Amino acid sequence: MTTVAHAQPHAHGDAQHAPMSFWRKYIFSTDHKIIGIQFLFVSLFFLLIGGLLAMQIRWQLGFPGKPLPGGGILPESMVQNGVILPEYYIQLVTMHGTFMVFFAIMPLLVGVYANFLIPLKIGTHDMAFPRINMWSFWLALLAGMIMLSGFFVPDGAPRAGWTMYAPLSARPDLSGATISQKLWSISIVVLGLSSVMGSVNYITTIINHRAPGMTWFRMPLSVWSLFITAILAVLALPVLQGAAILLLFDQTLGTHFFDPGAGGQALLWQHLFWFFGHPEVYILILPAMGMASDIIANGSRKPIFGYHSMVFAIIGIAFLGWIVWGHHMFMSGMNPTLGSTFMVSTLLIAVPSAVKVFNWMGTMWRGNLRFHVPMLNAIGFVSMFTIGGLSGIFMAATPVDIPLHDTQFIVAHLHYVLFGGSLFALFAAIPYWYPKMFGRMMSERIGKLHFFLTFIFYNMTFFPMHIIGMGGQMRRIYDPTIYDFLKPQQPLNVFISYSAFALFAVQFLFAFNFLWSLKFGKKAPMNPWEDNGLEWSLPNPAPHGNWAPNTPNVYRGPYEFSAPEAGDKDYLPQYVKLPTDRDPVPAPLPATH
Amino acid sequence: MMRATQVVDEMRPPVPAEPGAGVYSKKLGMWVFLASDVMFFTALIGSYIVLRFGMPSPWAQPGAVLNVPLTGLNTFLLICSSVSMVKAYAAIADGKKYFLRKVPGKRLQDGGLKFWMLITIICGAGFVGVQLIEYIKLVGEGFTPAGYREASLLAEHALADPIKYGAGVAGMYGSTFFTMTGFHGFHVTCGVISMLYLYFTKVLPEKYSAQDYRGIEVIGLYWHFVDLVWIILFTIVYLI
């Protein structure tokens, strides 16, 4: 089955000591930790690309008609006399969304942390299928490269928005981009394959490879959320793949799936896309919630409040996520009765989400708070996610959504959950598990500075978007100043742009901290955060094969902070055996078939 | 002894773990993958249903364009391959691997993994072959993913009898037909390639035994799934 988790215990010992070539160890690695780190570097690169595109969008919206600084290096097809052309602007909008959703946030949450954390946190040697895992990474990279190549083909990048609404996306004569629209479809099909391969691995590993004593309800919430996320991905990505294949055939073979002129249905694309798209929303937030839960319990030195309700809230959100896709389509001419159904099911999601938010607050309440960088960012996550969730309720309600639809208000909401939510959780997770990845700590001082500056500039950037959105500024317009009714709020657009530039600049603090600490960070102790998870029983960085040839025994749940049994410490790791603990009884091995 | 440990280890980490699903990881992984494949075909079939019933005029009548008897025969071939897959599984579960080797008191078809796997591969490859011939014939008659080709045989028929040949819906008819049957054919091809790989790396070198035949079981799951999908596709694409 595998190359790593193979055969007999003594073979494992050999595998650990056998010298591996650089290529085998770091490039074509089957080790889940290396694959996670590969995903980390690649998706941080795509995060930077997405950020650069966003800066150009903000320049155009804040200073339309002014030459883009440094725009001279762009070809004539993109800028004229340094001014961004409308054709290039729509490419920016499309590719910013595509890169951020599919190639930055999704792989950062799922590719990096599902790979890195699942085997470490459930106490096994590797994924169930390490080679498939490696393929999943290389396919994701291939998909990203195909997508990126769209900028370098003659017609320029795709232009139909990241949602690729048909028939604009299906007909090159409408979009003006013949090659890159096809590249988009191909890239998404490859990415879907990569995601399915990864998710099959995560699900199988969590079900079948938990260490003795790691019962379902002793799993950390990060593992629970990654498990549910993998189920969502396995069921949602194939639908997007199917849709992208139909789109690709429309673009290449002359089929008519989404072409209303020949009997196709443009609305079908929206249904397929959002049937995938809404579970995707939870793929992008559930892992963030799980990792924030772990970090908040650690930073509060208290057991997580309502562990079981947290688990059931994750499951509830994931289930409801399947029956709400219509709320993206209230403006598509949908039957109002059906619209009300989608409205009610969407509003129901507020219930499990609120359960989670209150549980995080209950965890912090009267805790012995430690404001380390991960904790600060996790608190940032909770507060920003709450704002994003509340503005989500606006859009869930059909009557409110109709005037707000396709305005900057939506942009504000999306960034509050995706940047304020997912990315803040990642700013918490990256320094938190950094020592286990690289053996060193990220600088606490730069981390705090980065957090406070990001928090301030982030809110300065995205909060005013609610206001200009309510003022009627549409979502993807090229130049707000050509509309009389938008002119009065142009100063606010300029303010947003300045804030966005500051926000982008501050991220270089993070990049510097990340790269500098690789070499010069403080050497990390084994358990720097005094946490309870199994991964902290390993040396830094965690070795190939983790605990091989053994697996740790698990004696309790993951959130035993400030337990009286722990003695003078305020934490009690899952792997520590107290005199009163009995070893878990190993399960009998199942039959071979 | 060595063999037994290997078997156990591939199912689980080398030391006992928590009770999982009670099946080995490869089988569980295949089930999860099949769940995802179900969603893929659901997207295709769901789109087909929405598009077909959203059309202003009715679909071409069954049998007008497509050769139903030929495909019926092909369906039979695929079902046969599923049966032979079960026979292969049953044979190796009893430890029977022999093929073209004299086993006293036994005939060739009495069993043997090698024999039944070969039959499965031949039937699967035959299915793909017949499908290719069908495609070539259809394209030759003027049936393409974009509809009836101008000035082709089918285009003339459609002019003469627009109802029978669904002249108004030809584009969508071609789009859905080639997409759905094509992706099914792609799945069958992947299955045949995987089985050929197993045949030469595991079956012929006699790596499977009555104690360990998980590869056969896992590819069998996939094969039966592909077969099941075809029965649905045959019904909705060819028969109604």
In this structure, is residue A456 part of a structural domain?
yes
pLDDT at residue number A175: 84
Instruction: Give the nearest chain B residue to A3 (CA atoms).
Output: B10
Instruction: Give the nearest chain A residue to B48 (CA atoms).
Output: A257
Give the 3-state secondary structure of chain B: CHHHHHHHHHHCCCCCCCCCCCCCHHHHHHHHHHHHHHHHHHHHHHHHHHHHHCCCCCCCCCCCCCCHHHHHHHHHHHHHHHHHHHHHHHHHHCCCCCCCCCCCCCCHHHCCHHHHHHHHHHHHHHHHHHHHHHHHHHHHHCEECCEECCCCHHHHHHHHCCCCCCHHHHHHHHHHHHHHHHHHHHHHHHHHHHHHHHHHHHHCCCCCECCECHHHHHHHHHHHHHHHHHHHHHHHHHHC
Share of chain A above pLDDT 70, in %: 95
* Domain layout of chain B by residue ranges: 23-239
Residue A456 has pLDDT above 90, yes or no: yes
The better pLDDT of the pair A68, B17 is held by A68
Candidates B11, B18, B209: best to mutate against A (most CBs of A within 10 A) is B18
Q: How many C-beta atoms surround the C-beta of residue A24 within 10 A? A: 14
* CATH, domain range B23-239: 1.20.120.80
Q: Which of A202-216, A414-428, B30-44, B100-114 has the lowest mean pLDDT?
A: B100-114
Model confidence pLDDT, tens digit, residues A290-325: 999 999 999 999 999 999 999 999 999 999 999 999
The CATH number of residue A537's host domain is: 1.20.210.10
In this structure, is residue A17 part of a structural domain?
no
What are the tokens at A376? 């600060």
Q: What average pLDDT does range A324-342 have in this prediction?
A: 90
Are B96 and B111 a contacting pair, CB within 8 Å?
yes
Q: What average pLDDT does range A29-40 have in this prediction?
A: 93
Are A156 and A88 a contacting pair, CB within 8 Å?
yes
In this structure, is residue A246 part of a structural domain?
yes
Which among A569, A550, A553, A551 is positioned nearest to A561, based on CA atoms?
A569
Backbone φ and ψ for B182, nearest 5 degrees, come out as -65, -45
CB pairs under 8 A between A and B: 198
In this structure, is residue A517 part of a structural domain?
yes
Greatest mean pLDDT among A150-154, A234-238, A539-543, B12-16 = A234-238
* Rg of chain B in Å (alpha carbons): 22
pLDDT at residue number B18: 75
Instruction: Please judge whether A249 and B36 are an interchain contact, meaning their C-beta atoms are less than 8 angstroms apart.
Output: no
Residues 94-153 on B with a CB inside 8 Å of A are 144-147
Q: What average pLDDT does range A432-446 have in this prediction?
A: 95
Q: What average pLDDT does range B173-202 have in this prediction?
A: 95
Query: From CA A229, how far away is CA A314, in angstroms rounded?
Result: 9
Q: What average pLDDT does range A391-416 have in this prediction?
A: 93
Question: Look-up: residue for tokens 């087909």?
Answer: B48
Query: From CA A54, how far away is CA A51, in angstroms rounded?
Result: 5
Smallest Cα distance from A118 to chain B, Å: 14
Average pLDDT, chain B: 87
In this structure, is residue A215 part of a structural domain?
yes
Which among A367, A376, A387, A102 is positioned nearest to A241, based on CA atoms?
A102
Query: What are the C-alpha distances in Å from A4 to residues A26, A458, B2, B194, B201?
Result: 14, 43, 17, 22, 20
Pick A249's closest partner by Cβ from B32, B36, B175. B175
pLDDT at residue number A112: 95
Burial (0-12, 13-18, 19+ Cβ within 10 Å), A582 = exposed
pLDDT at residue number A187: 97
DSSP structure class, residue A84:
E
Share of chain A above pLDDT 90, in %: 77
Residues 156-215 on B with a CB inside 8 Å of A are 168-169, 171-172, 174-176, 178-179, 183, 211-214
pLDDT at residue number A590: 55
Global pTM value:
0.93
pLDDT at residue number A264: 87
Contacts of residue A95, Cβ cutoff 8 Å, sequence gap at least 6 = A50, A53, A147, A150, A151, A157, A158, A162
Residue B188 has pLDDT above 60, yes or no: yes
Q: What is the ipTM of this complex?
A: 0.91
In this structure, is residue A583 part of a structural domain?
no
Model confidence pLDDT, tens digit, residues A574-586: 999 998 888 887 6
Instruction: Please judge whether B13 and A5 are an interchain contact, meaning their C-beta atoms are less than 8 angstroms apart.
Output: yes
- Which residues constitute the domain of residue A141? 32-566
pLDDT at residue number A10: 38
Share of chain B above pLDDT 90, in %: 57
Q: What average pLDDT does range A168-197 have in this prediction?
A: 92
What pLDDT band is residue B4 in, cutting at 50, 70 and 90? very low
Angle (CA) B31-B33-A426 rounded to 5° is 120
Q: What average pLDDT does range B148-156 have in this prediction?
A: 89
Residues on chain B touching A254 (C-beta within 8 angstroms): 144-146
pLDDT at residue number B108: 61
Angle (CA) A223-A225-A226 rounded to 5° is 65
In this structure, is residue A248 part of a structural domain?
yes
Burial B110-146 (b: 16+ CB within 10 A, else e): ebbbbbbbbbbbebbbbbbebbeebbeebeebbbbbb
Query: From CA A247, how far away is CA A189, in angstroms rounded?
Result: 11
Q: What average pLDDT does range A398-403 have in this prediction?
A: 91
How many domains are there within chain A?
A: 1
pLDDT at residue number A177: 87
pLDDT at residue number A587: 66
Model confidence pLDDT, tens digit, residues A52-73: 999 999 999 999 989 999 888 8
- A561 forms beta bridges with A571
Smallest Cα distance from A247 to chain B, Å: 11
Model confidence pLDDT, tens digit, residues B93-106: 888 777 666 666 66
What are the tokens at A168? 């604009």
Residue A20 has pLDDT above 80, yes or no: no
User: Cα dihedral sign for A18, A23, A24, A29?
Assistant: positive
Q: Is A8 helix (H, G, I), strand (E, B) or coil?
A: coil
Residue A565 has pLDDT above 60, yes or no: yes
User: Cα dihedral sign for A470, A472, A478, A484?
Assistant: negative
Characterise A7 by phi-psi region: left (phi > 0), alpha (psi -120 to 50), beta (else). Answer: left
What are the tokens at B40? 């893929």
Q: What average pLDDT does range B104-110 have in this prediction?
A: 64
Q: How many helices (H) and strands (E) does chain A have?
A: 20, 2
Q: Is B45 on the interface with A (CB under 8 A)?
A: no
Residue B10 has pLDDT above 90, yes or no: no
Residue A12 has pLDDT above 50, yes or no: no
Residues on chain A touching B5 (C-beta within 8 angstroms): 7-8
Residue B206 has pLDDT above 50, yes or no: yes
